[in-house]
């Protein structure tokens, strides 16, 4: 895949790591973000739609057209959540989903960064609650719809934002200087009736992708399946759902959709897992 080739170049070559160090500087990332939110960037939209084969019929185009590339990237579409399927978890977004058992000492490989469960959450006590549980990792591609939702009814107990990290690792034994990156993450701890306490996490893109979660009332607060939670600005993005042990089973109808990497294609609002 082209995205993987780019990441291998950025992380696996001296030139790529040099460029990576430049691009992830806050002022460079911010400048690119300003451009993608400006009128000058609107001309990129037709090329992007053609390159990623985005169906115009699936896009709500404003009467005056898109005001910027990010205006297009955060576009809306009609998403249907089924209120009659309260025993199901409905997909919070479009993308490619992996169903992962959280084994002891598991390492998640997300956006070219390896995380232990504790690294991912930055909370040892909380991570212990999901040992031997289940993770649903949904990878959004450039052609996907980048708004996301709550997939189940529940009460949000707390919210946390983990700022991204960038620094160089300089082991003496290495000839090159690898760049260590951990992407910005946000997650909510949600109490549900069918699945117990779960976590929904958003992981931002490496360069200019931003997480925009909508502000709610003071915690705790109640949410419904199908309530829009936020959106990503430009860049590849990932959503992770964590469940405690024996809390959830994958919808068996999805198995036939797996790609060569074992990922399953899902759409926002689709029933993807059931409470045990």
- The one catalytic residue among 29, 41, 127, 237: 237
Cα separation, 267 vs 80, whole angstroms? 10
Angle between helices 26-36 and 14-23 (to 10 degrees): 70
Active site residue 119: no
Identify whether the C-beta of residue 145 lies closer than 8 Å to the C-beta of residue 94.
yes
Q: Which of 37, 94, 127, 144 is catalytic?
A: 94
- Cβ-based neighbours of 138, under 8 Å, separated by 6 or more: 91, 92, 93, 95, 96, 97, 98, 238, 239, 240, 241, 266
Active site (annotated) includes residue 94: yes
- Smallest CA-to-CA distance from 143 within 234, 11, 14, 204 is with 234
Rounding to the nearest 10 degrees, give the CA dihedral for residues 210, 216, 218, 221.
-120
Active site residues: 94, 237
């Amino acid at each position: 895949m082209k995205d993987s080739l780019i990441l291998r170049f950025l992380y696996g070559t001296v030139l790529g790591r040099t460029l990576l160090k430049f691009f992830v500087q806050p002022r460079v990332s911010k400048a690119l973000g300003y451009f993608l939110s400006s009128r000058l960037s609107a001309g990129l939209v037709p090329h992007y739609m053609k390159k990623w084969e985005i169906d115009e019929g699936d896009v709500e185009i404003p009467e005056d057209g898109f005001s910027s590339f990010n205006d297009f990237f955060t576009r809306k579409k009609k998403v249907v959540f089924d209120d009659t399927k309260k025993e199901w978890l409905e997909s919070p977004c479009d993308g490619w989903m992996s169903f992962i058992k959280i084994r002891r000492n598991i390492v998640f490989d997300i956006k070219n960064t390896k995380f232990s469960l504790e690294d991912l959450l930055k909370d040892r006590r909380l991570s212990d609650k999901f040992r031997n549980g289940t993770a649903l990792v949904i990878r959004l591609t450039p052609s996907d719809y980048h708004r996301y939702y709550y997939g189940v009814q529940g009460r949000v107990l707390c919210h946390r934002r983990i700022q991204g990290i960038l620094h160089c690792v300089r082991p003496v034994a290495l000839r090159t200087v690898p760049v260590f990156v951990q992407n910005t993450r946000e997650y909510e701890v949600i109490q549900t009736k069918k699945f117990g306490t779960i976590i929904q996490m958003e992981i931002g893109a490496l360069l200019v992708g931003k997480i925009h979660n909508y502000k709610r009332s003071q915690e705790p607060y109640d949410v419904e399946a199908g309530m829009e939670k936020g959106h990503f600005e430009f860049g590849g993005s990932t959503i992770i759902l964590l469940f405690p042990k024996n809390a959830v089973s994958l919808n068996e109808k999805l198995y036939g959709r797996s790609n060569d990497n074992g990922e399953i294609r899902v759409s926002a609002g689709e029933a993807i897992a059931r409470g045990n």
